Chains A and B, each alone.
Chain A
Amino acid sequence: MHQQATNRLINPGESLGIFLLKFIVSIQSYRWRIYELKKNTEKIIQVKDLVKHYGDKTIIDEINFHIRANEFLTILGPSGCGKTTLLRMIGGFETPDAGDILFEGKSLVNIPANKRPINTVFQKYALFPHLNVYDNVAFGLKIQKKAKAEIDTLVQEMLRMVNLKGQEQRDVNSLSGGEQQRVAIARALVNHPQVLLLDEPLGALDLKLRKNMQLELKKLQKKTGITFIYVTHDQEEAMTMSDTIIIMNHGRIQQIGSPVDIYNEPRNAFAADFIGESNILESMMLKDCLVKLQDVEIPCVDKGFEKNESVLTVIRPEDIEILPPGTGFLDGVIESVTFLGIHYEIVMNCKGISWLIHTTREFFAGDQIGIQVDPNNIHIMKKEHDHEII
């Protein structure tokens, strides 16, 4: 930036006034850039050593992470992994047994739910049946005792943002699932919270509507700049919408990262298995960059394992190349072919082990094939006693 300004200075023929103006503007935009950078890396929520028990079951097992402002964060995991409990603790509906939740540096734990600058969109929407759309959305504003005119403006704006303009007087019980969903979102967002919590809000919608809503939510988040914390068990959903994903299982964090990172570099077998489909195989690391599976030695790019360490190899179905038999590192027979529109899903049997392959080429059950995988697409992970190969 500075360089450009200086170059312009040297340019003869520029009047002094214009030079000064451009200099000031460049300084300002520089300062704005720094502010933006700072804001984006600012940690808005920090979770420290959080623990929660129900009876003798540990639901949340000492987790630590932070959330950056203005990001779309998804907590992803199977049913019972603790993700909803975590969300409820952030919202203030459960209290942790140990650990702390910090909001902009200050502890939230002793602040009751109604005083936190956080709003929630509940799984079953929790709309107030005795109030119409307008009154539902205006509820929080009325509690804050805002002026009627101001409430009206805010509500109308929010309804427009969720495409429900004109529906103010409608009875919420007569709305469709998607419409109720949007009222729930509007009701939460109209209060301009700093953080919005969403507890699997799209579960009850049909596929097409769900996909539309995912895009809508993403757009909404970008537009309002509010930090979204989204909870789901649907990995595709998480991948579509998130800036960052936290994968949870058994009350512990398995991996944190962007969708691309998690997909390409799953940190453990659970993450690999949960996100996308994978082939996970028992294998042995012979030495750096060489792994042995199904009695075949295959070059890869991972290092740092012990000699002859028992490991798991993870290969994505779409990374497998199908070749004529004998020309790849393994051969097998195709058991089944399923046409999924985008690709064919092929199950291949190689010496008793089933491999899942995605390809756009047509094959038939009974075909003999060979497979090959680029070393960069072979991921080696340590075996953790936690995980079972399904």
Chain B
Amino acid sequence: MSISTPQASPDQSAGDSATSRRLLYVAAPAVISIVTLLALTALIEWGSGHPERFSSVGAYRAFMDVAVLARFGPAFLSAIIVYPAMRLRGASIGWAGWGAASSAIAFGLVSAVLALRFFPPAQALYYALNPMVVAALGSQVAFSALAEVFVRWRRHGRAGLRSPRLWAIVIAVATAGFALCYVGVIWDGGRHWFYVWIRGFMLFFGNGQ
């Protein structure tokens, strides 16, 4: 996208504006997912440990439970909506993939930023590689692959699903993505990847002091 300057002609400005609107239109699903993630994170930070800010303890608990669980939606599952929505709005496979993964990446970056309260910057950055983030990325990639099947069917009907290459790629990517998710949070509660991650930490930072 070019940058408008004071010398730009009216036609150029109109073109840039249209391009911006087009980009926003295509990227909107990913942006909405990220904003939802950030909003839920902020609400959890605001409410956690403060039942006095609610009308009752019951209301506090219900709000917190919903917010904590809902946050996993944009972090882990938003590709189910974001990927096909971006593709059907004209995004390439690559851009839709990035859009679908962006919430998981934002999840990691938000975690890293919040970790700055407790750890030095380099350690906080390493925090973005934690098993939850890896699992979220895996989940988003896997659902993106499955969503591509939906996109092909929507555009071309059954004819769009007849390519063996499509199925080979979808199965490979979805399997890899779900495997990451499984290792990150499901297999023994994710502790195996947790230990790998911590051993990696120790290689970089020793005991962290």
A, B co-complexed? no
B residues apposed to A, CB below 8 Å:
none
A residues apposed to B, CB below 8 Å:
none
